[in-house]
Amino acid sequence: MAASSQGSRPISFFEAAFLGLRTAVTSSTPESAAVFFSLRFSTGILSHYNGLGHRRRGKTLLKKSVCLLAFAATLLPCSFIQPQSTPQIVVERGVAMKTRDGVTLRADIYRPAVEGKYPTLLQRTPYNKDNAAEFARKAAARGYLVVVQDVRGRYTSEGEWYTFKHESEDGYDTVEWAAALPSSNGKVGMFGGSYVGATQMLAAIAHPPHLAGICPVVTASNYHENWTWQGGAFEQWFNESWTSGLAQDTLNRYIRDNTNARVGSSVLPLNQYPVFNVPAPQNAAELTSEFAPYFLDWLDHPTYDSYWKQWSIEENYQNIQVPALTIAAWYDIFQGGSLRNYTGIKAHGGSETARAGQKLLVTIGGHAGGGRKIGAVDFGPAAEKYDDNDITLEWYDYLFQGKQNEFATGKPVKIFVMGKNEWRDEEAWPLERAKSTSYFLHSVGKANSAAGDGALSTAAPPSDPADTYVYDPANPVPTVGGPLCCDSQHLAPGPRDQTQVEARPDVLVYSTPPLTEDLEVTGPVTLDLFAKTSAADTDFTAKLVDVAPDGVAINLTEGILRAKFRESTTGAPQPIAPGQVYEYKIDLWSTSNVFLKGHRIRLEVSSSNFPRFDRNLNTGKDASSSSEFVKATNTILHDAAHPSALILPVVGK
């Protein structure tokens, strides 16, 4: 047995090795991290982190994982670099606090070695507080008290883990506890991305008195629409890969709490010894119910009901009373929500300080990646200008220390303009000077695939024949790139060549001629589509694409709409009548891209984007509880009576 770094609680070799490997990933050599990254575990004992702290699923058997873990541990250095105090920084590990209902949460605290009162930066994470050590050290050296806490039910903190459930109350309690620490000056700001952004937003709507600022990075505004569901479709890839990552710590805690060698001591022959006291499930789905019940609850609540409203951010902007730096990204899975958070707090924040104190930075990748090259595209040296950690510290230097940096002197909005690959300051989002321009769909009835006759034009259609394709749930259009999370090894995110997708007959392709001059599109993108289907229900998907002169077709932004949710994605579904024409307004979120001279603007229309979204079975039943499906013949109309159009925010020179 080994001693826990959080106290005297003994931990097993399994947990010690697990903690050691995980520490090596964040604190040791690249070679050590590579050993850790090579492991794959089907039940999720171990997996590696991507750039935002999410972990990737593995594929080997549980009983083999322990052997692999032990083997990998022998390849790592004998000592691991834990966060330690230095002459400049004092580090306290595993500091406990009690929530209002008596649950112990643990945090690591970093502070300057010089005694004093310092502004406090707080992160509450489900991804292991050790991963923030590098940022925390940097911030402490810059004059901040930094508190990094494992949220309830995760890693070193006690209690039950359930997504979103405890974050408002626990966040409030933690902010007030942090503000009262001996080295705190009483001002608390929060930081971090993705779910760590959600812990900020959920704390902010509870408006703890000592919260003085937030910095949510690539996070959502609603945990129903555009987190778990989008346009009525289930965000299958994200929901499943994220859940599998989250469940790994839950399983590890279960094994730790229930392992007892005495239980199997009487078993003969000895080669049948049960290494863990884990009942064998009758099927894999039992593990989901045991270790990730929230996943099943998401499926049970496809509409925006009371289950989701209890955690709504959008309905509580008036309760947010602090300045915020919102960091969004064009290819991020939560782009839509990030932009809504900025506009929502700016318009409806609960104080003038909040409304006037909103800043927005829109980068490129978010969950899809960082740096200069994201996906298949090199965005040039300017793409590397802003690092999330550095910009977070600059934000709080301005907000808490009064430094006159670009947050004090610049415009409130900064965006990266793709195509030109440059940064630009703006007074507002969306851009007031952007002109909503309709690009109407045209064809002579054969827009199937990029080899078809589909076209886009600002001229309204006269009497074009309709386009038809067959959507087969057994052969869905594959997801190629886009705003994905959380397993980039098995499904690569970001900008990717769509040539493979556009060769399919069930994908309608509409393109402009090569542009005679550069054309900028910056802002929200919408497809106004008139369509009918032979099925009881179906989906319609849309994707905006930039086509280079050499034919490489790079995705920019995309959307989906389930037919029965055409009236509202928050209300009750409205069934359709097969064969009847309906209007569908598909939200493709936003982009900022200059289509260069010689490039073409392209729109893809289909009925699936799998596995990003779950497949519509075309029966009217949900894939959450049904496996039967039928083919659907779907028809897109674009004539004078049904002027289907891609609506783009065009920015003049």
Pairwise CA distance, residues 100 & 173, whole Å: 7
The structure tokens listed for 193 are: 């991305």
Question: What is the reported pLDDT for 431?
Answer: 98
Question: What is the reported pLDDT for 275?
Answer: 87
Question: What is the reported pLDDT for 82?
Answer: 58
Question: What is the reported pLDDT for 11?
Answer: 37
Question: What is the reported pLDDT for 70?
Answer: 37
pLDDT category of residue 45 using cuts at 50, 70 and 90: very low
Q: At 573, give phi and psi (nearest 5°).
A: -65, 145
Pairwise CA distance, residues 409 & 414, whole Å: 13
The structure tokens listed for 349 are: 């924040």
Which residues, including other chains, have CB under 8 Å from residue 157's CB and lie 6 or more apart?
103, 104, 105, 106, 149, 150, 151
Per the CB < 8 A criterion, the answer to whether 486 and 245 are in contact is yes
Pairwise CA distance, residues 363 & 592, whole Å: 10
Each residue of 591-604: b (16+ CB within 10 Å) or e? bbbbbeeebbbbbb
Pairwise CA distance, residues 322 & 343, whole Å: 14
Question: What is the reported pLDDT for 406?
Answer: 93
Pairwise CA distance, residues 641 & 653, whole Å: 33
Q: Per 3-state DSSP, what percentage of the chain is helix, strand, and coil (rounded to 5)?
A: 25, 30, 45
Catalytic residues: 194, 332, 367
Q: How far, CA to CA in Å, does 274 sit from each of 2, 46, 177, 264, 372?
A: 21, 20, 43, 6, 49
Question: What is the reported pLDDT for 279?
Answer: 77
Question: What is the reported pLDDT for 73?
Answer: 37
SS3 of 30-86: the string is HHHHHHHHCCCCCCCCCCCECCCCCECCCCCCHHHHHHHHHHHHHHCCCCCCCCCCC
Phi-psi region of 283 (alpha: psi -120 to 50; beta: other; left: phi over 0): beta
Question: What is the reported pLDDT for 409?
Answer: 87
Residue 401 has pLDDT above 50, yes or no: yes
Question: What is the reported pLDDT for 41?
Answer: 29
Residue 522 has pLDDT above 70, yes or no: yes
pLDDT category of residue 221 using cuts at 50, 70 and 90: very high
For 650-653, which contacts have Cβ atoms below 8 Å and span 24 or more sequence positions? 650/434, 650/435, 650/436, 650/437, 650/519, 650/520, 650/521, 651/431, 651/433, 651/434, 651/435, 651/520, 651/521, 651/522, 651/523, 652/433, 652/435
Element (H, E) at 590: strand 582-595
Which residues, including other chains, have CB under 8 Å from residue 83's CB and lie 6 or more apart?
27, 91, 93, 108, 110, 130, 133, 136, 137
Residue 220 has pLDDT above 80, yes or no: yes
Pairwise CA distance, residues 285 & 61, whole Å: 16
The share of the chain scoring above pLDDT 70, in percent, equals 87
Q: Which DSSP symbol is given to 366?
A: G
- DSSP secondary structure letters along 7-25: SS-EE-HHHHHHHHHHHHH
Pairwise CA distance, residues 357 & 564, whole Å: 40
Mean pLDDT of 137-162: 98
Question: What is the reported pLDDT for 85?
Answer: 81
Question: What is the reported pLDDT for 301?
Answer: 96
Residue type for position 265: S
CA neighbor of 608 nearest in space, from 450, 476, 449, 472: 476
**Coil vs helix vs strand at 474:** coil
Q: What are the pLDDT digits (tens) for 455-501?
A: 999 999 888 999 999 999 999 999 999 999 999 999 999 999 999 99
Which residues on adjacent β-strands are paired with residue 547?
A: 553, 600
Residue 614 has pLDDT above 60, yes or no: yes
Question: What is the reported pLDDT for 542?
Answer: 99
pLDDT category of residue 12 using cuts at 50, 70 and 90: very low
Which residues, including other chains, have CB under 8 Å from residue 60's CB and lie 6 or more apart?
40, 41, 42, 68
Which residues on adjacent β-strands are paired with residue 600?
A: 547
- The burial of 101, by beta-carbon neighbours within 10 Å (0-12 exposed, 13-18 middle, 19 or more buried), is given as exposed
Question: Which domains occur in the chain, in start order?
Answer: 2-80+233-301 (no CATH), 89-225+309-426 (3.40.50.1820), 435-651 (2.60.120.260)
Question: What is the reported pLDDT for 67?
Answer: 39
Cα of first residue to Cα of last residue in the chain, in angstroms, is 68
Q: How far, CA to CA in Å, does 179 sit from each of 59, 183, 339, 576, 639?
A: 44, 9, 29, 54, 63
Look at 279-288, 338-347, 422-431 and tell me which has the smallest mean pLDDT. 279-288
Question: What is the reported pLDDT for 16?
Answer: 38
Question: What is the reported pLDDT for 486?
Answer: 95
Per the CB < 8 A criterion, the answer to whether 618 and 538 are in contact is yes
Q: How far, CA to CA in Å, does 425 sit from each of 25, 354, 412, 623?
A: 37, 21, 8, 44
pLDDT: is 435 or 46 the higher one?
435
Q: What are the pLDDT digits (tens) for 62-97?
A: 433 433 333 333 333 333 345 678 889 999 999 999
Mean pLDDT of 129-144: 97
Q: What are the pLDDT digits (tens) for 104-118?
A: 999 999 999 999 999
Question: What is the reported pLDDT for 552?
Answer: 98
- DSSP secondary structure letters along 244-293: HHHHHHHHHHHHHHH--GGGGTT-SSGGG--SS--PPPSSHHHHHHHH-H
Question: What is the reported pLDDT for 52?
Answer: 43
Pairwise CA distance, residues 24 & 77, whole Å: 9
Rg (Cα) of the chain, in Å, rounded? 26
The pLDDT mean for the chain works out to 89
**Coil vs helix vs strand at 195:** helix
Question: What is the reported pLDDT for 554?
Answer: 98
Look at 55-59, 177-181, 598-602 and tell me which has the smallest mean pLDDT. 55-59
The total of other beta-carbon atoms located within 10 Å of residue 186's CB is 14
